[in-house]
């Protein structure tokens, strides 16, 4: 998870650096104590500016003899983009591999299903674990990125058409694993620069058209060889994360 923070401008090379970073974040964060029996502990929100947030989850410990009375169980990067997306038939559950993290599964209006990390349930203690509709700031944190002209972009093939000629796709949002990583490709409709005010790292924030879904992305400026601009095609690897309003 440490490499995911590069998308919001924090360079963490390993888990040891991530743990030190998480401790530092707790010291300057706003705390939210969990009121959910199925998810005890507390969440600490550090607003790092320009929509960048870090959410650190802790649980109480006792009898350790140490200086700390809590244990850090997760630390997640997030970006509160301006856009709010309406989702249907959502479900909140613990991450299948890391029970200290939460995942939301939901459907888009066209029936497509998404799974993404949910970083701030602490701010919404009364939200039920499942329901019909919800709103979320959904964004992709870029881990790999390349921007090119549409005619020069790699071809995307729809391999699901077993009994028909293969079809070239203009966009794609393909889940890769159970940790909310997606391979994405689509047309850039907006692009702008920003920066992490603490590290000074320069970042790109773009909006991507994905077959009816407009998905905001943020990533380090040096991740792509070419400058992202409206009309170009974006190809990359993202980690999908959501924040409840």
pLDDT score recorded for residue 168: 55
Query: Residue 43 domain-assigned?
Result: yes
Name the more confident of 71 and 159. 71
pLDDT score recorded for residue 66: 52
Query: Residue 201 domain-assigned?
Result: no
Query: Residue 57 domain-assigned?
Result: yes
Name the more confident of 67 and 232. 232
Q: Of 7, 44, 5, nearest to 24 (Cα)? A: 44
Q: Of 124, 107, 89, nearest to 243 (Cα)? A: 124
pLDDT score recorded for residue 70: 83
Query: Residue 178 domain-assigned?
Result: no
Q: How far apart are CA 205 and CA 210, in angstroms?
A: 16
- Residue 74: is its pLDDT beyond 80? yes
The rounded mean pLDDT for the chain is 89
Which of 11-25, 41-55, 122-136, 143-157 bottoms out in mean pLDDT, i.e. has the lowest? 143-157
- Tens of pLDDT, residues 88-120: 999 999 987 777 799 999 998 888 899 999 999
Q: How far apart are CA 115 and CA 107, in angstroms?
A: 9
- Residue 60: is its pLDDT beyond 90? no
- Residue 1: is its pLDDT beyond 80? no
For 61-179, strand residue ranges (E) read 70-79, 85-94, 102-107, 113-118, 133-148, 156-158, 167-169, 172-175
Query: Residue 38 domain-assigned?
Result: yes
- Tens of pLDDT, residues 2-53: 789 999 999 999 999 999 999 999 999 999 998 888 888 899 999 999 999 9
pLDDT score recorded for residue 166: 46
- Tens of pLDDT, residues 186-239: 999 999 999 999 999 999 999 999 878 999 999 999 999 999 999 999 999 999
pLDDT score recorded for residue 104: 96
Q: Which residue has the tokens 């249907």?
A: 88
Whether the CB-CB separation of 79 and 52 falls below 8 Å is answered with yes
Structural domain of 22: 2-79
The count of domains in the chain is 1
Query: Residue 239 domain-assigned?
Result: no
Residues sharing a CB contact under 8 Å with residue 202, sequence separation 6 or more, in sequence order = 9, 193, 194, 195, 220, 221, 222
pLDDT score recorded for residue 237: 96
Q: Of 204, 219, 206, 238, nearest to 83 (Cα)? A: 206
Query: Residue 87 domain-assigned?
Result: no
Model confidence, pTM: 0.91
pLDDT score recorded for residue 231: 96
- Residue 244: is its pLDDT beyond 80? yes
- Which spans in 8-112 are helix H? 15-27
pLDDT score recorded for residue 165: 46
Q: Does the CA dihedral 116-153-9-5 come out positive or negative?
A: positive
Query: Residue 72 domain-assigned?
Result: yes
- Residue 160: is its pLDDT beyond 70? no
């Amino acid at each position: 998870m440490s490499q995911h923070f590069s998308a919001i401008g924090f360079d963490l090379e390993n888990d040891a650096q991530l743990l030190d970073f998480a401790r530092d974040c707790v010291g300057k964060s706003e705390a939210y104590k969990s009121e959910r029996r199925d998810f005890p502990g507390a969440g600490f929100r550090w607003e790092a500016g320009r929509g960048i947030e870090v959410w650190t989850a802790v649980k109480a410990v006792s009898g350790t003899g140490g200086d700390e009375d809590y244990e850090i169980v997760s630390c997640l990067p997030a970006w509160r983009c301006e856009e709010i997306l309406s989702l249907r038939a959502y479900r909140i559950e613990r991450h299948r591999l890391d029970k200290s993290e939460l995942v939301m599964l939901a459907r888009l209006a066209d029936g497509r299903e998404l799974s993404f990390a949910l970083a701030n349930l602490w701010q919404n203690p009364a939200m039920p674990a499942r329901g019909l509709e919800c709103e979320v700031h959904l964004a992709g944190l870029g881990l790999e990125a390349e921007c090119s002209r549409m005619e020069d972009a790699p071809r995307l093939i729809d391999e699901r058409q077993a009994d028909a000629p293969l079809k070239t796709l203009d966009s794609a949002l393909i889940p890769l694993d159970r940790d909310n990583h997606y391979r994405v490709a689509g047309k850039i409709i907006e692009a702008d620069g920003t920066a992490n005010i603490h590290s000074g790292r320069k970042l790109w924030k773009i909006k991507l058209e994905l077959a009816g879904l407009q998905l905001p992305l943020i990533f380090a400026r040096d991740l792509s060889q070419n400058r992202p601009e409206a009309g170009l095609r974006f190809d990359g690897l993202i980690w999908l994360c959501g924040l409840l309003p």
